[in-house]
Amino acid sequence: MLYTVIPADGPTDRIRLYPSPVAAWQAAQGERPVAALAMDLDPWGRRVVPATIPLRDVDPTWSAPVELHADGSATARGPIPEALFLDCPTLRPVMGLGLGTNGTTTYTG
């Protein structure tokens, strides 16, 4: 599972991907919504591929090249199939970026 900040100007041909919702939320600085994507990096870290969960309307052989960044994020090039954007509430940390009592980040939808 990867996460992205929804751009204000709509879809682009390059999309920044983050390994966690917390990293995406930090990049958005609380000003843009964060979305989950049903995709993962391939074993070599060169492409993004659909997650192993079966998805309707997604070609299981689809992939897009990525550029890895030192901060753990990646930039994918090319259009991302809309079906990879999960139909779930936008992730928003509760009261900023706080940790719960058990060390996990709390989210609301």
Q: What is the pLDDT of residues 69-99, one digit of tens each?
A: 999 999 999 888 888 887 555 555 443 433 3
**Structural domain boundaries enclosing 24:** 2-108
pTM, to two decimals: 0.75
Number of domains in the chain: 1
How do residues 24-59 score in pLDDT, each as one tens digit? 888 888 778 888 899 999 988 899 999 877 677 888
**List of residues 6+ apart from 103 with CB closer than 8 A:** none
Q: Indicate the SS3 state at residue 39.
A: strand
Q: What is the pLDDT of residue 93?
A: 46
- Looking at the chain, list the stretches that DSSP marks H as alpha helix, in order from N- to C-terminal side: 21-28
Q: Which two tokens stand for residue 58?
A: 């997604």
